[in-house]
Structure 1
């Protein structure tokens, strides 16, 4: 498995070796040993899955301490543009974001530590998005930021208006945000 790190510390992309033949494909979707070796030793407690049509944008979400979540995200079918925004005030990359295209074909995964806002946009119909979480969903600690915030300046790579939930369209902007991390 190939391990890629980014300028924003803590984000790690894992690209597994995919074994394919006329019967289909096989690859590892998770290895605690490899993750620990890469600096992401996490105990996972919850798996989530969504299915989205092309243009659906979900995010930018996070959970505050004491229920902050690390995530390991991947696409089981289709393609998605994944975004992680650094919300750690002591980080030199605070407020910066990383874009990673996740595809079922490449089977790549992105590890996002606690202290990040996360979102994604489906790039194909029937995109199945899978993610492991290090803490359970806790509605009282959920937070988020606007996906189209001018200060974050995220290029979602689309000329058409994404399909966003009413709840996500009501999230606050980054300006004035006080990080709980």
Structure 2
């Protein structure tokens, strides 16, 4: 999926640490391959049943998926710990869509709010970068089911930009 282009001046100040929206980066190329299926996901993605992104743009990832019954502990309620895992997963995918080449990230804080039980069935996931500086990024993730937000999360990522990477 092509990444839409926009002039860097159109990037809000709170996202100035992000790679220019139209720039082809190694993370965006990897994410495009994961979305179209031409690049296999890591082994852990299969083990943890992590759904792939189904769309992305610079700083945003979407996923249309289906939660299955084996993901429940309480009958007809998807395990909240798995939802927390997905929050971190989708935040990482957003980072692939946003960071300049050579920049690495690690989760430093993760919060999940459970508004209503998520159940087996169709789910829409939206993840969006809300802050990106040279050292910190914040991603907001929401899970919608039946027209309502069932869970939402916020992930802080610590960024490391080696010498020579813009913004280092």
State TM-score, norm by structure 2.
0.31
Greater share of strand: 1
Higher relative contact order (CA 8 A, sep 6+): 1
Greater share of helix: 2
